[in-house]
Amino acid sequence: MAVLNEEQEMLRDMARDWATNESPVTEFRKVRANGEPHAYNKDAYATMAEMGWAGVIIPEDHGGSDFGFLSAGLVVEELGKTLTASPLIATTIAASAIVLGGSDEQKAKWLPKLASGETVATLAVDESAHHDPSAIEASVSGGKLTGKKAFVHEAHGADLFVVAAKDGLYLVEKGDGVSLTTRKLTDQRSHADVNFDGAAADKLEGGGDSLLDDVLDRARVLTAAEMLGMAQQVFDTTLDYLKQRVQFNQVLATFQALQHRMADLFADLAQMRSAVEAGLQAVDGGFGVARAATIAKAEANRVLHTISNQGIQLHGGIGMTDEYDVGFYLKRARVLESAWGSSSYLKDRYAKLASY
Amino acid sequence: MATQLEPDIHADEDAFRTEVQQFLAANFPDELKNKGNALAGVDGPTDETPAQKAWREAVGERGWGTPTWPKQYGGGGLTKAQAKIIDQEFAKAGAYNPIGGMGVMMFGPTLLEYGSEEQKMEHIPPICRGEIRWCQGYSEPNAGSDLANLQTFAEDKGDHYIVNGQKTWTSGGQWADKCFAIVRTDKSDKHRGISFMLIDMDAPGVEVRPITMISGTSPFCETFFDNVKVPKENLVGEEGQGWTIGKRLLQHERTNISGGGRLASMMGQSLGDIAKKYGETDAAGELADKVLRDKIADFEIRWNSFLLTARRAVEESKAQGGVSEISSVLKKLGTKLSQERSELLIEIRGLQGLGWEGEEFTDGELEAVRGWLFGKATTIYGGSTEIQNNIIAKRVLGMLDHQ
Ligand SMILES: Cc1cc2nc3c(=O)[nH]c(=O)nc-3n(C[C@H](O)[C@H](O)[C@H](O)COP(=O)(O)OP(=O)(O)OC[C@H]3O[C@@H](n4cnc5c(N)ncnc54)[C@H](O)[C@@H]3O)c2cc1C
């Protein structure tokens, strides 16, 4: 666990208390049962924003706390543990694009509303079912953006889209020229193909050539932080279960095969935590971000994949039931594994960054 | 190895092949071509279309759905070579075997080995005709891997038993006509106090409650027995022999789960071909994503060596007679590989391979997702992978506990 300052500890404890008490998995079940396309509880998100969580990476003069990515990651990790459905990550990622690339005017217009929770935003990059920022066809002419974005996270709740076009990132408000096709995935959260048909677009002129990559790296570390919370939760729940469940007149935890399995997962989880925290800290430090973010997301993919499978396996039959929570983590895990870079993509990116 | 076949066997086989072809031409309805057997599994109610019914009856009448089972009980009474011809010709015609389910996969073979003459005459023919669905009453809330810990109790009442207790994870329990169950007849001996008996699912006192699974369907149930009367003729083998019979049945189950048919039928679709459809190819016509290409090849090599292992095991077990502990190796390998395959399909398709519902996904894509989730159960049921490892280590390798 990274060394935290006092503010960060307070933030984490607050997030942990709120997630545990106000947003346990039963809340996600309600969201699922409601079946609304935006797939989150708007009151809950308003509360989260009131607690300052939507402004953690937003500068103070724009209504945020500017605590940074490690702090944002702490909150996101706690929310990941209870599968809290919210547009917090999507909005934070989108905000980071404006922080990095926005003009003073754009920042003044949007960041306070993102920090207060009044506006929900999301990043739209990929145009196919696979993450591939090198294959962007969306284009802008005369201030109008045209193109199709696939599987955009939190699209139904979004008021603002940060859209990757051939020549850079643009802000597009929902409304004229923006239409959604729902794509319901295993995680029962909001995903949609978004069609931009001559939608008014406002370019993020700052941030230099690497703006898109820099924003994607932020998306990777924050997503990895959610995955860390999920992996930790599945691990903890499974360990508790093995210590309770009796078969052959002994608790399952006494079987060496399972002891070794859990020891392996524990070691994996330690690596995942180090990688994810280092990724978040790299963003805050502004050094070696691309490499650190790649390692963070790649390790998150690898470890959550294994733990989400083992969580079911080690629970036996009960793990296969909808009544039990562990299956939800599996179904969310694969969606996040695919987001902003599958393992294949990240391995290739790692090698490219290292020039081999 | 070159096999020298006697010319007259060839002639016989050719004649039989012609017979199967003629049978298919006369009986297999076009509208069922390339459809799966919706009724053979445990995962659906028994609504049949008239065509499905006619096809089931035609195959059932000849016993060709259970081709190698003895003719006097309704089987085909055929040789393995003839059974293979049926498989081949059905496959060529796009025809499914309409006879299936737990009766065929595990209960029938076990009853043929342990049942009395009367029991075989009563229960095997309806299985061969696909008329009766069986479910498996083994697991209980506190008897999963430790199956012998089962507590459902059958009290001796002279000419019948009164059964009380709860089973769980009963696949297809809500659709089954009958249940083969292992129950306790003696509380003083863990293993020898177990008996194998057959229970009518519509007997008074039997209640089932479907459980929803992570894949969104409810193919299994909790099953409650409340003073259920079971006649003594429904005891299979001797009282106290249930553990031996029950384990034998599990060997059949494992051999089936690991696959022969099911895995072989998936062989047709190469993952590489699917990946080419979903991803990009380079100038040489190879998959552009080299990491994925490597993963697929790695998987397919191991998949092939599994199929070879399964084939070798079948050949060797023929020499030894029936299923054996090698079924544990096959079960462990086959289930792991099918899970890997489902995961690879998701990787190949990306988010298009994680659809839950909606018209933007093809039926095949959606089925693959549900199959991926359901498939997580294959390393749990029929004796989990960990239990197979224990069996292999202890019984096959002689690595005994230290005590
Ligand atoms: C989809 C599905 C369908 C099923 N259908 C049927 C059915 O039709 N009829 C029926 O009777 N049952 C059925 N089952 C039940 C199945 O057989 C049991 O789930 C299985 O035996 C495991 O038992 P359990 O669920 O109690 O898990 P547990 O026995 O509690 O096991 C939990 C975990 O501990 C591990 N473990 C247990 N003991 C050991 C050990 N000694 N050493 C190392 N690891 C160990 C297990 O491998 C597993 O990973 C079904 C289950 C599923 C999921």
More confident call, B11 vs B87: B87
CA distance to partner chain A, nearest, from residue B73 (Å): 35
Distance B100 CA to ligand 1 centre (A): 23
Delimit the CATH 2.40.110.10 region(s) of chain B.
134-238
Q: Which atom of ligand 1 is found nearest the CA of B172?
A: 8
Kindly report, residue by residue over A107-152, the tens digit of the pLDDT.
Answer: 999 999 999 999 999 999 999 999 999 999 999 999 999 999 999 9
Task: Quickly count: other Cβ atoms within 10 Å of residue A307's Cβ.
Answer: 25
Delimit the CATH 1.20.140.10 region(s) of chain B.
259-396
Give the Cα separation of B36 and B98 in Å (integer).
9
With an 8 Å Cβ cutoff, is B289 touching chain A?
A: yes
Torsion of Cα atoms, A297 then A300 then A302 then A306, to 10°: -160
Q: For testing the chain A interface, which of B150, B167, B214 should be mutated: the one with the most A CBs within 10 Å?
A: B214
Q: For testing the chain A interface, which of B351, B381, B390 should be mutated: the one with the most A CBs within 10 Å?
A: B351
Which pLDDT score is estimated for B80?
87
- Using the predicted structure, report yes or no on whether residue B318 has a pLDDT greater than 80: no
Residue B195's contacts (CB-CB under 8 Å, 6 or more residues apart) are B154, B182, B183, B184, B185, B235, B237, B238, B239, B240, B241, B242
Distance A23 CA to ligand 1 centre (A): 31
- The verdict on the CB of residue A255 being under 6 Å from ligand 1 is yes
In total, the C-beta contacts within 8 angstroms joining chain A to chain B are 117
Which pLDDT score is estimated for B66?
95
Find the angle CA(A111)-CA(A115)-CA(A116) to the nearest 5 degrees: 120
A76 alpha carbon, distance to own chain's centre: 8
SS3 content of chain B, % helix, strand, coil (to 5): 50, 15, 35
Task: Look at A317 and B346 and tell me if their CB atoms are within 8 Å.
Answer: no
- Give the pLDDT band of residue B339 (cuts 50, 70, 90): very high
- The verdict on the CB of residue A356 being under 6 Å from ligand 1 is no
List, in sequence order, the alpha helices (H) in B259-325. Answer: 260-267, 271-278, 290-320
Torsion of Cα atoms, A24 then A25 then A31 then A32, to 10°: 180
CATH architecture assignment, domain B134-238: Beta Barrel (2.40)
- Using the predicted structure, report yes or no on whether residue B259 has a pLDDT greater than 90: no
Give the Cα separation of B183 and A243 in Å (integer).
28
**Nearest residue in chain A measured CA to CA from B296:** A344
**Nearest residue in chain A measured CA to CA from B381:** A317
Residue B315's contacts (CB-CB under 8 Å, 6 or more residues apart) are none
Cα–Cα nearest to B164, from B185, B135, B193, B189: B185
Give the Cα separation of B362 and A295 in Å (integer).
34
Write down the catalytic residue from B117, B155, B253, B286. Answer: B253
Compare CB distances from B169 to A317, A335, A338 and report the shortest one's residue.
A317
- Which residue owns the Cα nearest ligand 1 atom 43? B386
- Using the predicted structure, report yes or no on whether residue B329 has a pLDDT greater than 80: yes
- Give the pLDDT band of residue B261 (cuts 50, 70, 90): very low
- Using the predicted structure, report yes or no on whether residue B2 has a pLDDT greater than 50: no
Which pLDDT score is estimated for B269?
75
Cα–Cα nearest to B163, from B177, B181, B145: B181
- Using the predicted structure, report yes or no on whether residue B6 has a pLDDT greater than 50: no
Kindly report, residue by residue over B348-372, the tens digit of the pLDDT.
Answer: 999 999 999 999 999 999 999 999 9
Contacts with B142 from chain A: Cβ below 8 Å: 246-247
Residue A351's contacts (CB-CB under 8 Å, 6 or more residues apart) are none
Give the Cα separation of B195 and B161 in Å (integer).
11
Contacts with B168 from chain A: Cβ below 8 Å: 317
Distance B144 CA to ligand 1 centre (A): 5
Domains in chain A (CATH in brackets) are 6-116 (1.10.540.10), 121-203 (2.40.110.10), 211-353 (1.20.140.10)
With an 8 Å Cβ cutoff, is B291 touching chain A?
A: yes
Q: For testing the chain B interface, which of A183, A241, A252, A261 should be mutated: the one with the most B CBs within 10 Å?
A: A183
Q: For testing the chain A interface, which of B274, B354, B365 should be mutated: the one with the most A CBs within 10 Å?
A: B354
- Give the pLDDT band of residue B306 (cuts 50, 70, 90): very high
Kindly report, residue by residue over B108-136, the tens digit of the pLDDT.
Answer: 999 999 999 999 999 999 999 999 999 99
With an 8 Å Cβ cutoff, is B362 touching chain A?
A: no
Task: Look at A338 and B351 and tell me if their CB atoms are within 8 Å.
Answer: yes
Compare CB distances from B380 to A247, A255, A317 and report the shortest one's residue.
A317
Task: Look at A313 and B139 and tell me if their CB atoms are within 8 Å.
Answer: no
Active site annotation includes B253: yes
Lowest average pLDDT, out of A241-250, B259-268, B344-353, B392-401, goes to B259-268
Q: B176 in helix, strand or coil?
A: coil
**Nearest residue in chain A measured CA to CA from B149:** A248
Strand blocks (E) in B129-172: 134-137, 153-156, 160-171
Quote the mean pLDDT of chain B.
90
- Using the predicted structure, report yes or no on whether residue B3 has a pLDDT greater than 60: no
Task: Look at A313 and B379 and tell me if their CB atoms are within 8 Å.
Answer: yes
With an 8 Å Cβ cutoff, is B400 touching chain A?
A: no
The CATH number of B259-396, from 3.20.20.60, 3.40.718.10, 1.20.140.10, 3.30.465.10, is 1.20.140.10
- Which residue owns the Cα nearest ligand 1 atom 1? B377
With an 8 Å Cβ cutoff, is B286 touching chain A?
A: no
Which pLDDT score is estimated for B7?
47
The pTM is what?
0.94
- Give the pLDDT band of residue B316 (cuts 50, 70, 90): confident
Mean pLDDT computed over B14-25: 96
Is there a contact between B245 and B114 (Cβ–Cβ < 8 Å)?
yes
Compare CB distances from A338 to B279, B350, B386 and report the shortest one's residue.
B350
Cβ neighbourhood burial of B276 (10 Å; 0-12, 13-18, 19+): middle
Compare CB distances from B291 to A186, A317, A344 and report the shortest one's residue.
A344
Give the Cα separation of B63 and B56 in Å (integer).
10
With an 8 Å Cβ cutoff, is B279 touching chain A?
A: yes
**Nearest residue in chain A measured CA to CA from B291:** A344
Q: Which atom of ligand 1 is found nearest the CA of B141?
A: 26
Task: Quickly count: other Cβ atoms within 10 Å of residue B351's Cβ.
Answer: 23
Q: A114 in helix, strand or coil?
A: helix
More confident call, B101 vs A268: A268
Residue B89's contacts (CB-CB under 8 Å, 6 or more residues apart) are B17, B20, B21, B24
Three-state SS string over A40-84 comes to CCHHHHHHHHHCCHHHCCCCHHHCCCCCCHHHHHHHHHHHHHCCC
Cβ neighbourhood burial of A157 (10 Å; 0-12, 13-18, 19+): buried
- Using the predicted structure, report yes or no on whether residue B343 has a pLDDT greater than 60: yes
Q: Which atom of ligand 1 is found nearest the CA of B102?
A: 8
With an 8 Å Cβ cutoff, is B212 touching chain A?
A: yes
Interface of B with A in 373-392 (CB under 8 A): 373, 376-377, 379-381, 384-386, 389-390
Percent of chain B with pLDDT over 70: 90
State ipTM.
0.95
Is there a contact between B225 and B163 (Cβ–Cβ < 8 Å)?
yes
Distance A260 CA to ligand 1 centre (A): 19
Ranges of chain A whose pLDDT falls below 50:
none
- Give the pLDDT band of residue B35 (cuts 50, 70, 90): confident
- Which residue owns the Cα nearest ligand 1 atom 5? B171
Which pLDDT score is estimated for B4?
43
